């Protein structure tokens, strides 16, 4: 048969088969509109097992498996502790070997330094190779950390003990070791390696015995700047505190050695380091604009930074016989902190940063005020600072209900300022003996106690909906300050003559005032059903009775004594009548409502 005939027959057969397949599919769809159910298969029944009795053992799970905690402890001991103990053992072994060699005179000083450098470098390369090629193990980290420590120790011994390494070469070597350590730490996300590299680089001027010159300061500044950038990048907050602790003594040493010759430049250096430390404390939050709570390390670093720079500048200016400039230094730093805090609060940045800056500024201003002024002016300044901090605490609490740690810190500082103001008033403006002898200056006492009462009562109304317990405490402090002010005013006005002699009428009026105030508090507490007012009133009545029965009975003459007892008795009788009458009336109303 020809090829053309065969091809035509095959094509027609394929078309027929395709048509037949389509017909079969349509028939199947009509016969089975839903998916074909699966063919049931027979499975043998499970064997019947007896029910477990109470004494049968349960299958242990992962949480109750006692071996899981053992395995975790074993992994900690075998994977971490052994690695770091091994690294320390290697260092100690090298030290002991060098000690033996030195005692026996086997190697001289240059050879000791060279061997220490080669050994530390070899250990560093070995640790890097193990970590990169054989797995990220604690043993490799321990080896690298030990090697970095050994390199810094080599520079220390070679530069300061043996005088073999020049200062410039030592600084360059320490900087190179620090760069290598930080690069490894960033690549491996290993903070302990970063700590050795960063802190070792910052300690380099001290390790090699560099003099407090501009060159050593420049090296430390570069190292600190690079460290701050890396710490902010990786957010190793607590390591920033370590960098501050290591660099601060060197900064102070340099400042002390150079301020006599270059005082303005020294103050400028202090301002520059303040900016670096401030960026280390709050730079991450400024960059990320995170609304989260500030870490504790940021608070500590910012406070320590302010104390360091303020104290250093004040001491240097005072030592240079510039007391007014020293006070201006404190007040200038305070104004700068408050201004920056106000700017931050107006931006879409973490609110805690603004509150922190303003709080630090207020603290510095209090120190400046204490150095510049005294008397009621200082008390007014402290009381105003307490009011401002209370306001900031209420603002912070509105963002996170209930009180967060930021608001709590601000309230603690506000309470501290209020306590300082009250302490100053009680110690100088209105001491406790003013109840008997009056005050040196009634105007100063009135200003001091008045502003303290105003600050406390502001806290009462500002915190009444946010923290009622603190609001009640502020109420008690404010009422106590006003009560003490009224008592001092009575004694100073009626109980002391112009020549300073005591008059007994003042003590009679004081006893009557205490009893009358107690009676008023009891009646108000009964009418408004406020237990704390009733208890306070009863306490004042008891105080008045104690004063009359002790001081007035012993110190006053017969007529004044009679007046004190009669006034006290009248107020006590009125108080008892009001207490029983109002309580009985309230009980009758309650009974009527019950009926």
185-225 pLDDT, tens digit each: 888 888 888 888 888 888 888 888 888 889 889 988 988 88
284, two tokens: 């991450």
Average pLDDT in the 146-158 region?
A: 82
Q: In whole angstroms, give the CA distance from residue 33 to residue 42.
A: 26
Q: Ranked by mean pLDDT, which of 56-70, 81-95, 283-297 comes out on top?
A: 283-297
Give the number of other CB atoms < 10 A from CB of residue 192: 14
pLDDT at 56: 38
Element (H, E) at 521: helix 504-528
* 3-state SS, residue 264: helix
Q: For the ranges 234-238, 537-541, 580-584, which has the lowest average pLDDT?
A: 580-584
| DSSP conformation class of 502 | B
pLDDT at 353: 81
Task: Say if residues 368 and 361 touch (Cβ distance below 8 Å).
Answer: no
Instruction: Give which of 147, 148, 171 is closest to 159, Cα–Cα.
Output: 171
User: In sequence order, which residues have a C-beta less than 8 Å from that of residue 512 and are 6 or more positions away?
Assistant: 564, 567, 568, 571
**Residue, of 13 and 584, whose pLDDT is higher:** 13
Examine the pLDDT at 358 and tell me if it is beyond 80. yes
Q: Report the sign of the C-alpha dihedral through residues 389, 394, 397, 403, in that order.
A: positive
**Measured in Å, how far apart are the chain's first and last C-alpha atoms?**
122
pLDDT bracket for residue 544 (50, 70, 90): very high
Examine the pLDDT at 592 and tell me if it is beyond 50. no
Task: Say if residues 518 and 539 touch (Cβ distance below 8 Å).
Answer: yes
* 3-state SS, residue 555: helix
Average pLDDT in the 163-167 region?
A: 83
3-state secondary structure 71-124: HHHHHHHHHHHHHHHHHHHHHHHHHHHHHHHHHHCCCCHHHHHHHHHHHHHHHH
pLDDT at 3: 47
pLDDT at 512: 92
- Tell me: the pLDDT tens digits for 465-523? 888 889 999 999 999 999 999 999 999 999 877 666 778 898 999 999 999 999 999 88
pLDDT at 458: 95
Q: Ranked by mean pLDDT, which of 229-238, 369-378, 471-480 comes out on top?
A: 471-480
- Tell me: the pLDDT tens digits for 428-451? 999 999 998 888 899 999 999 999
537, two tokens: 């009133």
DSSP string for residues in 120-166? HHHHHHHHHHHHHHS---HHHHHHHHHHHHHHHHHHHIIIIIS--S-
Average pLDDT in the 330-338 region?
A: 91
Task: Say if residues 146 and 175 touch (Cβ distance below 8 Å).
Answer: no
Residue 190 preceded by cis peptide, ω within 30: no
**Phi and psi at residue 346, to the nearest 5°:** -90, -5
Average pLDDT in the 370-376 region?
A: 80
Q: In whole angstroms, give the CA distance from residue 425 to residue 418.
A: 11
* 3-state SS, residue 50: coil
pLDDT at 174: 86
Examine the pLDDT at 254 and tell me if it is beyond 90. yes
Task: Say if residues 203 and 224 touch (Cβ distance below 8 Å).
Answer: no
Q: Report the sign of the C-alpha dihedral through residues 489, 493, 495, 501, in that order.
A: positive
pLDDT at 400: 53
pLDDT at 124: 87
Average pLDDT in the 394-414 region?
A: 69
Task: Say if residues 170 and 158 touch (Cβ distance below 8 Å).
Answer: yes
Integer angstrom CA distances of residue 345 from 51, 290, 295, 354, 484: 69, 14, 18, 5, 38
Average pLDDT in the 287-305 region?
A: 77
219, two tokens: 């090296």
User: In sequence order, which residues have a C-beta less than 8 Å from that of residue 230 and are 6 or more positions away?
Assistant: 182, 186, 194, 198, 236
Task: Say if residues 346 and 309 touch (Cβ distance below 8 Å).
Answer: no
Integer angstrom CA distances of residue 533 from 135, 252, 395, 464: 72, 55, 30, 17
% of the chain residues with pLDDT over 70: 78
């Amino acid at each position: 048969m020809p090829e053309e005939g065969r091809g035509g027959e095959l094509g027609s057969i394929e078309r027929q088969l395709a048509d037949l397949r389509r017909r079969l599919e349509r028939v199947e769809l009509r016969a089975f509109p839903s998916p074909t159910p699966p063919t049931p298969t027979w499975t043998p029944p499970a064997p019947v097992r007896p029910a477990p009795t109470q004494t049968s053992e349960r299958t242990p799970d992962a949480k109750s498996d006692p071996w899981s905690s053992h395995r975790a402890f074993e992994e900690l001991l075998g994977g971490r502790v052994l690695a770091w103990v091994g690294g320390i053992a290697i260092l100690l072994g090298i030290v002991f070997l060098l000690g033996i060699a030195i005692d026996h005179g086997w190697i001289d000083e240059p050879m000791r330094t060279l061997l220490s450098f080669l050994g530390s470098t070899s250990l560093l390369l070995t640790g890097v190779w193990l970590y990169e090629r054989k797995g990220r193990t604690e043993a490799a980290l321990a080896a690298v950390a030990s090697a970095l420590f050994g390199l810094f120790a080599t520079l220390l011994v070679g530069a300061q003990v043996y005088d073999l390494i020049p200062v410039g070469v030592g600084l360059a070597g320490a900087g190179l070791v620090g760069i290598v350590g930080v690069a490894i730490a960033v690549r491996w996300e290993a903070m302990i390696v970063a700590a050795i590299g960063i802190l070792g680089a910052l300690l380099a001027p001290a390790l090699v015995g560099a003099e407090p010159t501009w060159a050593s300061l420049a090296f430390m500044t570069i190292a600190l700047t690079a460290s701050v950038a890396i710490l902010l990048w990786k957010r190793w907050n607590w390591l920033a505190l370590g960098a501050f602790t290591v660099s601060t003594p060197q900064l102070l040493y340099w400042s002390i050695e150079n301020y006599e010759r270059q005082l303005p430049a020294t103050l400028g250096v202090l301002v520059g380091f303040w900016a670096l430390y401030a960026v280390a404390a709050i730079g991450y939050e400024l960059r990320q604009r995170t609304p989260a709570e500030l870490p504790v390390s940021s608070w500590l670093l910012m406070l320590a930074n302010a104390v360091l720079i303020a104290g250093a500048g004040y001491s240097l200016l005072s030592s240079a016989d510039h007391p007014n400039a020293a006070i201006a230094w404190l007040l200038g730093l305070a104004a700068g902190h408050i201004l920056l805090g106000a700017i931050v609060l107006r931006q879409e940045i973490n609110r805690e940063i603004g509150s922190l800056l303003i709080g630090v500024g207020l603290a510095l201003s209090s120190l400046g005020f204490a150095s510049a002024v005294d008397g009621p002016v200082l008390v007014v300044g402290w009381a105003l600072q307490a009011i401002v901090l209370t306001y900031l605490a209420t603002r912070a609490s509105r963002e996170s209900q209930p009180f967060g740690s930021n608001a709590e810190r601000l309230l603690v500082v506000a309470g501290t300022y209020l306590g300082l103001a009250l302490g100053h008033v009680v110690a100088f403006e209105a001491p406790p003996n003013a109840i008997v002898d009056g005050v040196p200056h009634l105007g100063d006492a009135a200003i001091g106690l008045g502003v303290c009462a105003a600050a406390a009562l502001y806290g009462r109304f500002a915190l009444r909906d946010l923290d009622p317990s603190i609001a009640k405490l502020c109420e008690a402090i404010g009422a106590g300050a006003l009560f003490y002010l009224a008592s001092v005013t009575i004694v100073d006005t009626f109980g002391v003559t112009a020549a300073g002699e005591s008059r007994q009428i003042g003590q009679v009026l004081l006893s009557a005032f205490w009893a009358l105030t107690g009676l008023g508090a009891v009646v108000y507490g009964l009418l408004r059903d406020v237990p704390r007012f009733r208890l306070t009133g009863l306490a004042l009545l008891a105080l008045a009775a104690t004063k009359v029965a002790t001081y007035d009975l012993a110190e006053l003459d017969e007529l004044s004594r009679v007046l004190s007892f009669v006034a006290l008795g009248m107020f006590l009788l009125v108080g008892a009548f009001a207490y029983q009458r109002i309580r009985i009336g309230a009980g009758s109303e309650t009974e009527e409502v019950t009926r």
